[in-house]
Amino acid sequence: MPGLAPRYLPGLTFTLIAGAAVAAGPAAAQITPMQREAARVAPAPGVMPWAAPQQRTRSIPGFAAPTLHSQKAYGPLDDYTSRWTRADARQLVATSNPNVKTGANSLPARVTMPDIPADFPQTNPDVWVWDTWTLIDKRANQFSYNGWEVIFCLTADRHAGYGFDDRHVNARIGYFYRRANVPASRRPADGGWIYGGHLFPEGASAKVAAGEAYTENAQWSGSTRLLKPGSNDVQVFYTDLFFNRTSGGGNITPPDAVITTTLGKIHADFTHVWFTGLDRHVPLLRPDGRYYQSGAQNEYYSFRDPFTFEDPRYPGANFMVFEGNSAGVRGETPCDKGDLGYRDGDPYAENVGTVNSSGAIFQRANIGLAVATDSDMQHWRFLPPLISSNCVNDQTERPQMYIKDGKYYVFTISHRTTFAAGMDGPDGVYGFVGNGIRSDFQPMNWGSGLVLGNPTDLNTAAGTDFSPNPDQNPRTFQSYSHYVQKGGLVESFIDTVNGQRGGSLAPTVKITFKGASSAIDLSYGRNGLGGYGDIPANKIDVDWAGLIADPDWVGLSRTDWIGAFLQSDWAPFVDAALQGLRSGQVPLPSSAQNARIAGFIGSLPSDQQKAIWSYVGSH
C-alpha cells in the first residue's frame, strides 16, 4: 500500500514507528520543518496524511487556559474572523486521561462515539460510500419526496480494480432512496437504502474544465437544496475536482478545485426515485489567494464541501460555508500571537517563535464564507473566513451551519493526523457556537471544540486508517465524515473498525447540546448506537404535479398503473401525504390537480376505488 515504506530524504532517514514518521540518526537535529512536512504528505489525494511528530504535552505539569471567546455576533460582511487557537486545542489533551491502559480510550466519555461492531453490514455490495448528505431546504430541514427519503453520497466502484484508499480520485456523487415513515424495527440491518446510481449524466462535471489539462476528474462533497417545498426543483452544490498527475501519482500541476452548481428535478413513483437535468454545470468559486489559499500558494490546499443556507436574520440572502486554508505561501506564512491565543501571563503559554519554527505554520485550515449575489445562486462572492485554525490544524472538512435556540453552531470534521506539531486530538466532529452567522465563536466542551470523537488513546501514536498502529485503540478511525442532522442525529461512514475497512454507512448516534456544551445520548438506539444509515427526514415534500405527471407513471396503462400502486409499498406515501396535510407542511392540491386525481380514481373499477378510499378514510 502506498506510504508504508520508510521515507528517505537527503541527510535524514525517516522510519515509521507505530504509524508515525520519526526522525532517526545524527541528522535528526538538523531536520527542517519543510523536511518534516514532506514526510507527512498523504500518499494519495484525499487520503489521511501521516501524523505530525507530537511534543508530549503530558510532561508539562499543567496546561494553558483556553482563549476567552465572547460569542459576540458581527455582521456577515464584516472583516472579522474568529480563531480556533492553540490554547483552545490544547484542551483536547488537557481533558484526556493520561493513565489509561495503552490502546484504551482516553477521551471524556460524554464526547466519545460508542464502539461500532466489527461485523457491520454493507450499505451496498457494488459501491463504497463515504461523505453523505440529505435533501434540504434553506433552513437545513431534511425532506422526503413523495414518500421517499433520499440521500446523496460519494461513491466508488468496489469492483473496478483499485483499492479503498484510491477511491477519492474516482469519486462520483451517487444517490440512494428508501421509503419514508418506516420504523427502524421494520428496516433491514443495512438501513434499507436502494442505490439509484450516479446523480449526474456521464461527463457533465468534466465540462467545467473544458480546454484544461487534467488526468482525472472527481466529484467531492457538497449539499443538495430543495428549492421550493411542494415542487421537484433541486440545486446541487459540490466540489468539482481536476487532477493533473504523473503515472507515479505526483502533481504535474496543482489540483483544480472548483465549487460548482447544477440544476435539475427529482421524480418518484411508487417503486423508485430518479433525477432529470443536472447536465449543465456552472463553476462558482475557485480559491482567490487573498482569503483562501490557492494552488499557486500550496499544491496541497483544501477548497471544497459547499453547504448553503439562509440566515433567518437576513431573509432572502443565501450563504455558503466551505472548507478552505488561510491564504499565504505554504511554509512561509508565520502564525501570530492571536493564532496561539494564550492569555496574558499564562505560565503554560507557548512562544510564537518556537511555534513557527516547529513546522506548525504548515497547518492553516479555515472555514470559509461566501454570499450569493443573485437569487438563482448562480453567482457568489467570497467573504472573510468565519473561523481560522492557523498553526492548529490543516483540515476543517464538511462545515455546516446549524441554527438552534438563537445560537449559531458551526460543525466541522477533522483528523488526528492533520493537527499541527504540538497539537493532538481525535478524528471526529468539532463544534463552535456564537450569537450570529459571524461571531467570536467559542469552541464547545471545555473550550476544546470536540463534540464527538472516535475512541482514541491520545497517549499513543496515531497511525493511520490505512496503516494502523497496533498499540492504538482499534476503533480510533472507526467512523468519519459526520453530518449533524436536525434533532441532533449524527450520521457518518465506517472507515476502519479493528482493521476491517468500511465504505458503508455507520450507525447513527445522537448528541444533545445547549450553549457551548454537548453530550452523546446513550439512551438513543442500543447503548447510544442507532440503526446503520438511519437518516430520517424531518419534513415532507408532496409534489402533486409530479404525482400526476411523472413520465414513468403516465407511460403505464391504467391496469399496470393501479397494479403498481396497489402492489407496491405505497401506504407510506399516503401516510406522508395525510400527515403533511394535517400538519400544514403539504399544501392542498390545486382545484385542477384535485380534479385530475379524483377523475383518475373515479375511472377505476369499483373494487380498486374502494381499496384506495378505504385506506385513506381509515387514516
Question: Strand 143-145 vs strand 479-484: parallel, antiparallel, or unpaired?
Answer: unpaired
pLDDT at residue 166 is higher than 60? yes
How far apart, in whole angstroms, are the C-alpha atoms of residue 376 and residue 155?
Answer: 28
What does the pLDDT read at residue 569? 53
Question: Is residue 95 predicted with pLDDT exceeding 90?
Answer: yes
Q: What is the pLDDT of residues 464-516, one digit of tens each?
A: 999 999 999 999 999 999 999 999 999 999 999 999 999 999 999 999 999 99
Q: Give the number of other CB atoms < 10 A from CB of residue 319.
A: 22
Residues above pLDDT 90, as percent of the chain? 74
Which of 168, 111, 230, 59 lies closest to 466, judged by CA? 168
Tens of pLDDT, residue by residue over 566-579, are 555 555 566 666 66
Average confidence (pLDDT) over 247-257: 95
pLDDT of residue 570: 55
Pairwise pLDDT comparison (601 vs 215), residue with the higher score: 215
pLDDT band, very low/low/confident/very high, at 56 (cuts 50, 70, 90): very low
Backbone angles phi, psi at 405, to 5 degrees: 55, 40
Report the mean per-residue pLDDT for the chain.
88
Helix segments in 312-447, DSSP class H: 337-340, 352-357
- Spatial distance between the Cα atoms of 226 and 547, rounded to a whole number of angstroms: 17
Rounded to whole angstroms, how far apart are CA atoms 576 and 610? 20
Q: Are 416 and 49 in contact (CB under 8 A)?
A: no
Mean pLDDT of 181-192: 88
Q: Which of 82-91, 212-221, 424-433, 594-603 has the lowest mean pLDDT?
A: 594-603
Q: Are 158 and 128 in contact (CB under 8 A)?
A: yes
Helices (runs of H) and strands (runs of E) counted in the chain: 10, 30
Cβ atoms of residues 264 and 234 within 8 Å:
yes
Q: Is 519 in contact with 526 (CB distance < 8 Å)?
A: no
The mean pLDDT of 120-146, rounded to a whole number, is 97
List the one residue out of 316, 424, 439 whose CA is nearest residue 369: 439
Give residue 612's pLDDT.
Answer: 62
Cell numbers describing residue 569: 409499498
> Among the listed ranges 124-138, 408-422, 430-444, 581-595, which one has the minimum average pLDDT value?
581-595
pLDDT on residue 60: 38
Sequence-distant (6+) residues with CB within 8 A of 96 are 106, 107, 108, 458, 459
Question: Rounded to a whole number, what is the largest CA-CA distance in the chain?
Answer: 91
Q: Which of 432, 569, 546 is nearest to 66 (CA)?
A: 432
Where do we find the cell 473498525?
Answer: 497
* CA distance readout (Å), 316 to 282, 484, 586: 21, 24, 22
**What are the residue numbers of the active site?**
131, 397
Q: Give tens-digit pLDDT for 380-396.
A: 999 999 999 999 999 99
Pick 85 or 586 by higher pLDDT: 85
pLDDT the model gives residue 561: 53
- The answer on pLDDT for 604 being more than 80 is no
Phi and psi dihedrals of 88, rounded to 5?
-65, -55
What are the structural domain ranges in the chain? 73-520, 555-618
Span between the terminal Cα atoms of the chain, in Å? 57
Q: How confident is the model at residue 36 (pLDDT cuts 50, 70, 90)?
A: confident
Confidence of residue 61 (pLDDT cuts 50, 70, 90): low
Above 50 in pLDDT, residue 411?
Answer: yes
**Residue 543: pLDDT band by 50, 70, 90 thresholds?**
confident
Closest by CA position to 435, among listed 381, 371, 516: 516
> Where does the pLDDT of residue 580 fall: very low under 50, low under 70, confident under 90, or very high at 90 and above?
low
Right CATH for 73-520 from 2.115.10.20, 2.60.40.10, 1.10.10.10, 1.25.40.10: 2.115.10.20
Place of cell 439512551: 523
